[in-house]
Amino acid sequence: MELDFKGRVAIVTGAGGGLGRAHALALAARGARVLVNDLGGGVHGEGGSVSAAQKVVDEIRAAGGEALANGASVTDFVAVQAMVQQVVDAWGRVDVLVNNAGILRDKSFAKMDMADFRTVVDVHLMGAAHCCKAVWPHMVAQEYGRIVMTTSSTGLYGNFGQSNYGAAKLALVGLMQTLAIEGAKHHIHVNALAPTAATRMTEGLMPAEVLAMLAPEAVVPAMLVLAHESAPTRTTLCAGAGSFEAAHVTMTQGVYIGTGPDAPEQLAARLAEVTAREGEQVPANGGAQGALEVQKAMAARR
Q: What is the 3-state secondary structure of 230-297?
A: CCCCCCEEEEECCEEEEECCCECCCCCCCCCCCHHHHHHHCHHHHHCCCCCECCCCCHHHHHHHHHHH
Q: What local confidence, expressed as pLDDT, does residue 210 receive? A: 83
Domains assigned to the chain: 9-247 (3.40.50.720), 263-301 (no CATH)
112 pLDDT above the threshold of 60:
yes
54-63, 198-207, 231-240: the lowest-pLDDT one = 198-207
Per-residue model confidence as pLDDT tens digits over 22-45: 999 999 999 999 999 999 866 555
Provide the pLDDT for residue 34. Answer: 99
In whole angstroms, what is the distance from residue 69 CA to residue 65 CA? 13
Q: Region 218-226: what's the mean pLDDT?
A: 98
- Single out the residue of 187, 169, 285 nearest to residue 229, CA to CA: 187
- The residues pairing with 194 across neighbouring beta strands, listed in sequence order, are 238
> How would residue 202 be classed by pLDDT, with cut points 50, 70 and 90?
low
Nearest in space to 127 (alpha carbons), one of 12, 223, 224, 21: 12
**Pick from 139-143, 192-196, 213-217: least confident:** 213-217
Concatenating the DSSP letter of every residue in 87-137 gives: HHHHHS---EEEE-------B-TTT--HHHHHHHHIIIIIHHHHHHHHHHH
CB within 8 Å of 258: residues ≥ 6 apart: 266, 297, 300
Q: What's the CA angle centered on 271, arms 267 and 272, to 5 degrees?
A: 155
Q: What's the pLDDT band for 200 if we cut at 50, 70, 90?
A: low
pLDDT band at residue 204 using 50, 70 and 90 as cut-offs: low
Alpha carbon distance 126, 123 (integer Å): 6
Q: Which pTM value belongs to this model?
A: 0.94
pLDDT in tens, 60-78: 999 999 999 999 999 999 9
Q: Can you tell me the distance from the alpha carbon of 226 to that of 230, in angstroms, rounded to the nearest whole number?
A: 8
Task: Give residue 201's pLDDT.
Answer: 56
pLDDT at 153: 97
Distance CA 153, CA 238 (A): 8
Give the pLDDT confidence of 228-272 residue by residue, as tens digits.
999 999 999 999 999 999 999 999 999 999 999 999 999 999 999
C-alpha angle 255-261-266 in degrees, rounded to nearest 5: 35
Beta-carbon-side half-sphere exposure of residue 193 (alpha carbons within 13 Å): 31
Measured CA to CA, the distance from residue 278 to residue 199 in angstroms comes to 38
pLDDT band at 205, cuts 50/70/90? low
- Catalytic residue ranges: 165
